[in-house]
Structure 1
Amino acid sequence: MPNEMAAAQDGLSPASAGRSTLSVHVGPLAGGPVRTLRPNAPHLAASTMKVAVLAALHRSGLDLDAPVPVHNSFVSASYGPRFGVSREEDSDPEPWQALGSERTLRWLAGRMIVHSSNLATNLCLSHVGPAAVAEVWQLARARHSVTGRGIDDLRARAAGVVNLVTAADLARLLRRLPQELLDLLAANAHRVDLAAGLPPGTRIAFKNGWLPGVRHSGGIVYPPDAPPYGIVVCYSGPLATGHAVDDPAARLLARISAGYWARRHELGTPGDR
């Protein structure tokens, strides 16, 4: 990450116009949210779309331990020429070192989530297909989120094919994940934004995403002295520099996370307000 070049110029991003949109969805794992702020506002998904790809892969019935070719040539959602992922913009070098060889889908899924590999994401998506990811969003009762294309499919993006997420939809998806997938999310190596706002060592199963103009993070927090709670914060605006760590938007999300951690004992009773 950032997972797509020139994302700040996308028409859905408010960054180039100097505007900001902040969305929040916080609450218990059962029942309605306790705190929300613009929970249904659509944002460019960035790497949060990888959670939906993971869920689709998990329920696909594919043999996740079967080796598959590692390549960088994908069919565009616009049915034009094939495209590839930008190596320079990918945060994980490991899958690139496997080009021309084989790795298992389970290994690729791990790189996709733990290290946010863009190449591994497109490989996983190419095996399950966008229809399977759309079904995952449907089963989660998502209202506005969509995963219409792979990462760096610039031709499809230019044709209007989008990857969108809302804070409410991402919260719904996270609450449906089985423990096996939550354990994978808990291994996320990018311990910034939401994780940075928690006391060291606090368990959080989460996925974040960033690119110029966008910083999102959503997960489930497991306090030792209170019931677990879900928290999703999506930010689109000029604070998001696209840097992995040194990002003002990441610090904003960390402050929001710390604020809800301080009120974690109040998050066990649902009630949208």
Structure 2
Amino acid sequence: MTTALITGATSGIGAAFARRLASDGHNVVLVARDPERLRDQATELHDRHGVEAEVLRADLSTDKGIAAVEERVADRTHPVDLLVNNAGFGNKGNYLDVPMAEELTMLKVHCEAVLRLTSAAAASMRERGRGGVVNVASVAAFVPRGTYGASKAWIVQFTQGAARDLAGNGVRLMALCPGFVRTEFHGRAGMGTGNIPSWMWLDADKLVDAALRDLARGKSLSIPDPRYKTLMGIAKLTPRGALSRVTSSTGRKYGPQ
């Protein structure tokens, strides 16, 4: 049986990955900050699917938390075959409205943790000649929308570059770029969502199904929905200045308040 490690595993996209991978027969390592939710989730997955469900409490906004997960994904005796870097969060407010400490924490979780965990896992996977990494980014990576979008753009560029460097080594890396997904993400950031059109919302379980299909096909980038594929295709063809104006105005109109 193979083992998958998922960060941010107790809710949203991370929980959907954990459910799907456990149902497919993979042992799972669940990483999050809340020990009670981790224990409850591990018990449920073990009892329902008969897999081993290991818990690892770690705060990826700290060096100690990142190092703990690094050590686990680099373990050669109990190897991780699939890493899902899903942990992340949003900040409410425009540039200069968000405290610098919170901006730096976002970069720690979205960039430094992803870099360190991907590198630790990929090195071990390359030795074995097999493995995969899914780094959860966002369609915000393709539009100019502040630190969140910039950090997700970094994930996309890093993942695709690393995927090219590891081509032929049996290790697959993929950046996953969903749009709005019904999770706890917006509530935790204090963002309202009542103004977001219903057609823009995605289901986490369906998103994971599409992502795993794209990973199996060897894609380094996954935008797992035709609606968002179309929107991102239009964005690529739009001049940068015009795109910035459009995303700024639509962000105020449809973005979380």
TM-score category by the smaller chain? under 0.3
TM-score normalized with structure 1 length: 0.26
- Structure with greater contact order relative to length (CA < 8 Å, sep ≥ 6): 1
TM-score normalized with structure 2 length: 0.27
- Select the structure that is richer in helix: 2
